[in-house]
Chain A
Amino acid sequence: MIAQSLSDLWYGFSVALMPQNLMWSFFGVLIGNLIGVLPGMGALTAISMLLPLTYSMHAVPAILMLAGIFYGSQYGGAIGAILLNLPSHPPHAVSCLDGYPMTQHGRGGAALGITMIASFFAASFGITVMVFASPLLVQIAFKLGPAEIFSVMLLGLLAGATMSRGSPLKGVAMTVFGLLIGVVGTDVNTGAQRFTFGFTELADRVELVALAMGIFGIGDFLRSVNRIHFAGHEAKVRFKDMRPTKAELKRSFMPMLRGTLIGTLFGAMPGTGPTITTFIAYAVERKVSRHPERFGHGAIEGVASPEAASHSKTQVDFIPTMSLGIPGDSVMALLLGALLIQGITPGPQLITEHADLFWGLIASFWVGNVLLIILNVPLIGLWVKMLQVPYRFLFPSALLFIAVGVYSTNNSLFEVTEVLFFGVVGAILMALEFPVAPILLGYVLGPLVEENFRRAVLLARGDLSVFVTRPISAAFIAAALALIVGQLVLGWRARRSLKRMQPA
């Protein structure tokens, strides 16, 4: 079994390293990286733009190129999030939390460096899992029905709601606000439109990219106008600043490992999406850290873990897409479409019928990641230099790109209005010192929790005990309870020790 996988993989590398394939892979990574850096442009935009090009191409180079674009734009998205607080790829919103403060302290280059290392490590791990454990993961995925997904998401929601710094009450309030925004749109179970106020555009929910860019990027912009002259540290950037220090590398190692595992775990749950994965990775990191107070002020662990999680999740997400023909998200759906154009129907027979494509793709994932590193070692300096562009130029150009990028999600002006609206909301909330990240968490998790809860109950004919009688679901419910009880006990102890200290 393993020997077979290895020889297949070897064959895959021979396909991926053919000069022509390698060239397309590089082209994809480069274009993806460049498009991904532009605020508002994510993998979806980049792939949609270049999809028509694949019509006249052979299947293997076409898919390798698209996969390259996918990677490149994902990494490019991290650059915008860390340097400019602009999460054009929503999973990177979490990286804003500590990546942007790092930039403000002049450590933006180091944050990018650690992102690069974490994503390479996580992707390599994900690829290994893909090669050796695909059938196993598919089996696990089948065990996770609506009841299990509900329980996992509930745990995620609880863990996430308590992760923000500052007043816990404000954090919970923002999570609930996010849940409310998540309710807007067509209810999957009944087809009823909720809180759309007659806007047909809202039938498909509030646009995730518009929400993320609005509350993070635009909100921050609006607050900074006329206050700062440069986005980053005003001192000159030295080459030394671009590399993570030894201490930083050491601090990042365990978070990177944990992030990778979390990403792999979530990869086995199709349809959960990378944004949740990164939030959970961040929340876990904060929970296990001995210095949780450093989070939100530029803790490098808060960058390493979510970035690793996002990349291993994306990697593992390819398993259901390629081996079952079931896309995990809209980007995967687009890649499936690209395969269909090539006359390849993704499904269980793909691996045997199109061995060159499948193994070539897997090998190209790794090659693509190596290319990304080669490309970005010299480029990081360039990206950081971008921060020295005076704010009065940087801000309007970023705004323009955001508008273009958000417009391109649905080819509609409505989304541009949305991003502006959420920008104003974000600015007000930031001024009142509300954390904005939980909004995004609530928005992404809420519908998943609700949909899966109702679907599970529908399948069980209204029997609520389904959540505790199914063992996997029960385990997660128990963990969620433990989390609440633990939180209460901790709070009670803290209060008691405070009381004891007062008389002294």
Chain B
Amino acid sequence: MRNAFKTVVASILLAGGLLAAGQALADEPYPSHVVQVIVPFPPGGVADLTGRPVTAGLSKILKQSFVLINRPGAGGSLGASMVVNAKPDGYTLLMALASVSTNPEADRVAGRPATFELNQLVPIALVSADPTILMVRAESPYKTLADLVADAKKRPGEINYSSSGNYGTYHVATEMFTHVAGIELKHIPYGGGGPALNAILAGQVDVGLLGPSVAIAQIKAGKMRALASWGGKRLASLPEVPTLKELGYNVEYYIWSGLFAPAGTPEPIVATLRNAMKGVVVDDDFKMVMDKLETPIVYMDAPEFKQFWDEDAKRLIEVVRKIGKIE
């Protein structure tokens, strides 16, 4: 009986103690528990591959688990809308690609309500930005971009290009260029980047786009040739490939990846994350993984990233509107 009484008292004290500890936990500085980083694409893709070293780096610096969760669907819209609808407490973040800028507009153009809006996301840091590259097969008659443009002017709409899908990276980038160049190329959408690459290699289409690391692999093997890149300056890894800008076409396009939080996330939490990201990008482990992925780190802190994103999104949205609804 006595013992039972003791047990009860002890339990009450213990429960009280735990409660107090729990209270203290809630007041503890961010992050006090596991943080989810949503990647709106399947495992193995660009967002997933760059997202993993980012979460590893954040876990290391903030001494809290940052867990990457793949939530693919609807070209990245599903994961993004999940993040904007989450509680803006810094415990649900988004690792997005450039395509996040065009998701809402593509929905509207197709006559659907957008699943989220760009102002529902707050940029934290840009992690990488790779220009797309215009590629042809090694046997292609086009030796330079000028050859392609000249032929396209002669036969408007008869030269085919493959893309990963409608309003996707390659589609938007190509349309951006053809509008400025005043030419028309025929868009053949394939379901994904792999089939689009296969279509170029197999000669089903005449030209196509690739990211730098895949492009380098194909060039090295002598299977393909690069005509131009969408970058602001020439790539260090492909110094002989001119940019569209130097060839007189004022367009830029990057496959970028960056970290976002939902709008309304408290300023101190955003500041913590920004600081942590500053540390992540100079971390040796992080640099090593990015190096292996052959993805150059292009870091921008929130204010700079915001400016870049605003400009980029404006450019891209304009292109999506020009493409319009596809019949």
Which A residues contact B (CB, under 8 angstroms)?
A: 47-48, 51-52, 55, 141-143, 145-146, 186, 188-193, 200-201, 203-204, 270-271, 320, 324-327, 330, 333-338, 340-343, 345-349, 410-412, 451, 455, 458-459
Contact = CB atoms under 8 A, between A and B. Distances in A.
24 contacts: A141-B202, A145-B204, A146-B204, A189-B166, A192-B110, A192-B326, A203-B78, A270-B195, A270-B198, A324-B198, A325-B218, A333-B44, A334-B43, A337-B44, A340-B49, A341-B49, A343-B292, A345-B294, A347-B214, A347-B217, A347-B221, A411-B69, A412-B78, A458-B188
B71 A333 contact: no
Contacts of B294: 343, 345
Contact of B74 (A47, A204, A345): A204
Contact of A200 (B52, B77, B166): B77
Most buried by A among B45, B106, B205: B45
A188 B202 contact: no
A200 B74 contact: yes
A324 B194 CA distance: 10
A341 B292 contact: yes
Contacts of B56: 55
Nearest to B191: A188
B320 to A, nearest CB: 10
Contact of B45 (A191, A337, A412): A337
A455 B190 contact: yes
Nearest to A352: B221
B198 A326 contact: yes
B6 interface: no
Contacts of B220: 347, 349
Contacts of B115: 200
Contacts of A141: 202
A144 to B, nearest CB: 8
Interface residues of B, number: 56
Where chain A touches its partner, the secondary structure class is helix
Contacts of B188: 455, 458-459
B216 A345 contact: yes
Most buried by A among B73, B77, B167: B73
B153 interface: no
B257 to A, nearest CB: 14
A112 B252 CA distance: 57
B296 interface: no
A349 B44 contact: no
Nearest to A191: B166
A444 to B, nearest CB: 14
A347 B198 CA distance: 11
A135 B245 CA distance: 39
Contacts, number: 145
A412 B165 contact: no
A336 B44 contact: yes
A207 to B, nearest CB: 10
B140 interface: no
B73 to A, nearest CB: 5
Contacts of A330: 42
A-B interface, 8 closest residue pairs, ranked by CB to CB distance from nearest: A337-B44, A343-B292, A347-B217, A348-B221, A191-B166, A203-B74, A142-B202, A334-B44
A340 B52 CA distance: 12
Contact of A410 (B45, B72, B217): B72
Interface string B210-222: 0001101110111
A190 B327 contact: yes
Contact of A327 (B78, B194, B221): B194
Interface in B72-113: 72-75, 77-78, 81, 106, 110, 112
Given A142-B202, A334-B44, A336-B44, A341 B110 contact: no
Contacts of A345: 213-214, 216-217, 294
Nearest to A192: B110
Nearest to B285: A55
B135 to A, nearest CB: 13
B250 to A, nearest CB: 27
A142 B221 contact: no
Interface in B192-237: 194-195, 197-198, 201-205, 213-214, 216-218, 220-223
B64 interface: no
Nearest to B68: A52
Contact of A142 (B42, B201, B214): B201
B191 A451 contact: yes
Contacts of B293: 340-341, 343
Given A142-B202, A324-B201, A459-B160, A186 B74 contact: yes
Contacts of A142: 201-203
A86 B110 CA distance: 39
Contacts of B73: 200-201, 203-204, 410, 412
Contacts of B48: 337
Contacts of A346: 217
A298 B56 CA distance: 51
A191 B106 contact: yes
Nearest to A349: B221
A337 B195 contact: no
B34 to A, nearest CB: 15
A189 B186 CA distance: 12
Nearest to A330: B42
A484 B250 CA distance: 57
B241 interface: no
Given A191-B326, A333-B42, A341 B160 contact: no
A364 B48 CA distance: 27
A348 B167 contact: no
B112 A193 contact: yes
B190 A188 contact: yes
B197 A191 contact: no
Nearest to B165: A188
A272 B174 CA distance: 28
Contacts of B221: 347-349
Contacts of B167: 191
Contact of A190 (B81, B214, B223, B326): B326
A192 B106 CA distance: 10
B279 interface: no
A410 B70 CA distance: 7
A51 B43 contact: yes
B44 A338 contact: yes
Nearest to A344: B292
Interface string B10-26: 00000000000000000
A193 B214 CA distance: 30
Contacts of B191: 188, 451
Contacts of A342: 292
Most buried by B among A146, A186, A190, A325: A325
Contacts of B203: 142
A48 B42 CA distance: 10
B70 A343 contact: no
B217 A48 contact: no
A347 B95 CA distance: 27
